[in-house]
A and B are shown apart, each in its own frame.
Chain A
Amino acid sequence: MNKIEKDLELNATLAEEFVCDAPNEQAQPEGPVANLKYLLVGVLFGIVFVKAEIISWFRIQEMFRLDSFHMYGVIGSAVAVGMLSIFLIKKFNIKTLSGESVHLTPKTFNRGQIYGGVLFGLGWAITGACPGPLFAQIGSGYLAVVVTLLSAILGTWTYGYLRPKLPH
């Protein structure tokens, strides 16, 4: 395949309909009350974030200075448990609460994962937070982080605006 064909194909992929990294794959619609389930999961998740000090700027610094195993242990064991869970869900075809088959969207590779990944990593080191901890830091009373969150929203918007011009 020559370069032009490749570009055309990539453009077609980019122009494709909505692709989300955290998609809602449930076929049945859900009302506001059903959404409270996810609020509750979020609350538990936020408590873990704070209690394990994952939202701490210092813990992120320790991770990138290789001075502590803590964050590597957290991410590593989270991945191990997630992997095992998905393996079991697939193997035993475990259904969702509403009886649907679990649907997993494969990730497709593009060079954005490299460029964007490095840019996010730089921001991670500066802010001491990935998007999840930003919310937990605000809840913990670090109100200055509201500015970080607004800036992250602006960054997301800017990406959407520049997307057709960026290399992928």
Chain B
Amino acid sequence: MNLLELIREPWPWYVAGPLIGLTVPALLLLGNKSFGISSSLRHICAACFPADIPFFTYNWRKEVWNLFFVLGILLGGFIATYFLANPADLVVAESTRAELSALGIRDFSGLMPADIFTVENIFTPTGLIFFVLGGFLVGFGTRYAGGCTSGHAIMGLSNLQWPSLVATICFMVGGFVGTHVLLPWLLNLAP
């Protein structure tokens, strides 16, 4: 198997996890930057529509590195999907597959369920749940919590910050409730 074929295969956790962990020292040593992604959403608010809200009136230009970083993530996603894509279908755990089938998910071939994440769905009840409501909760919740999986779970825990442990536990609690209670309920509302 040549190198490109190897890269095209899905990467196991013990390769991906350490690489993600290395982002922490990389950003610190490149320019004293603390790893965190949800703050980019706040900088966008501060740059585009601060509306005299104290929370958005700060010198966002000093934090512009964060916007370069997330733009890079977008480009990286493009490169990986269009040049390094895995030719085979995604392998979804059998039990997850069965449970999601019961909820009406049909397409398990791609990274995202094609029956939900389509442009055609934007103006449907499904779109309202998965894009508008879901996105709102992500933006509101991460800012309320003062960080997301990167800022709290990875950066905060790496720096032994107990508030980040509290936040991470709450992320997981929300995720379990969302998966087992909220999501089935919402999918019943929008068949």
Which residues from chain B contact A145 at a C-beta distance below 8 Å?
117, 131
Q: Among the listed A24, A119, A138, which residue makes an inter-chain contact with B137, where contact means beta carbons less than 8 Å apart?
A: A119
The B-contacting residues of A in range 133-168, CB under 8 angstroms, are 134-145, 147-161, 163, 166
Please classify how large the interface on chain B is, using the bins under 10, 10 to 19, 20 to 34, 35 or more. 35 or more
Proximity bits, B51-84, A CB within 8 Å = 1, else 0: 1011110110011111011111111111111101
B137 x A58 contact (CB < 8 A): no
Known contacts: A56-B90, A121-B175, A139-B74. The answer to whether A151 contacts B10 by CB under 8 A is: no
B78 x A24 contact (CB < 8 A): no
The B-contacting residues of A in range 65-121, CB under 8 angstroms, are 65, 67-83, 85-86, 88-89, 94-98, 100, 102-110, 112-121
B34 x A160 contact (CB < 8 A): no
Known contacts: A116-B144, A160-B56, A160-B143. The answer to whether A104 contacts B159 by CB under 8 A is: yes
Interface residues of chain A, those whose CB is within 8 Å of chain B, are: 15, 17-27, 30, 34-58, 60-65, 67-83, 85-86, 88-89, 94-98, 100, 102-110, 112-132, 134-145, 147-161, 163, 166
With A107-B163, A131-B38, A158-B136 known, 15 other A-B pairs at CB within 8 A are A21-B152, A22-B147, A26-B33, A38-B66, A58-B100, A64-B179, A68-B93, A71-B13, A78-B18, A85-B158, A102-B32, A139-B75, A139-B79, A147-B127, A155-B41
Provide a sorted-by-A list of 5 A–B residue pairs whose CB atoms are within 8 angstroms: A22-B35, A39-B75, A41-B69, A51-B11, A122-B174
